[in-house]
Amino acid sequence: MSEQRNVPCGLCRYQHKRHDLSCEFGQYFPINRLREIESASKFFGMANLLRLMRGAEPSQRQVMANSILREAQMWANDPIHGALGHILTLSSHIKSVGRELKLVNAMLAHCSHQATPQIATTVQVRVLL
């Protein structure tokens, strides 16, 4: 634990602050996520990031930190649409895979009807969407 206190967290490193026992959120923003922290500060502002973290219950702070960093990455990857662009991409992918699944099930049904009754089996691939 004390060894971890000597390693600056990503927030302190980014803000050029000394990481010490007064660091509020260092445990949620490790140094190996510095690039994501830079994005989060760019897109949301450090004051807003800290305000969001202070507003979260301590038990939810890791989830909040991960959410902030993840959304910042989405904005970095798609500055026009941000998280919505990511959601639309995933939605499009789900629809595409659903169409493919429908086709595979139709092909399986066709093959089942073509097979002899001794070896015919009913196979259907299902995915919960």
The footprint of Zn ion (CB under 5 A) covers 9, 12, 19, 23, 26
> For residues 12 and 69, which CB has a smaller minimum distance to Zn ion in the complex?
12
Q: Find the shortest distance in angstroms from Cβ 56 to Zn ion.
A: 17
105-124 residues labelled b (16+ CB within 10 A) or e (exposed): eeeeeeeeeeeeeeeeeeee
> For residues 6 and 121, which CB has a smaller minimum distance to Zn ion in the complex?
6
Q: Find the shortest distance in angstroms from Cβ 7 to Zn ion.
A: 9
Q: Find the shortest distance in angstroms from Cβ 53 to Zn ion.
A: 12
Q: Find the shortest distance in angstroms from Cβ 99 to Zn ion.
A: 48
> For residues 30 and 85, which CB has a smaller minimum distance to Zn ion in the complex?
30
> For residues 26 and 61, which CB has a smaller minimum distance to Zn ion in the complex?
26
Q: What is the DSSP string of 75-114?
A: HHH-TTTHHHHHHHHHHHHHHHHHHHHHHHHHHHHHHHHH
User: Residue 69 in 3-state DSSP?
Assistant: helix
Amino acid occupying residue 20: D
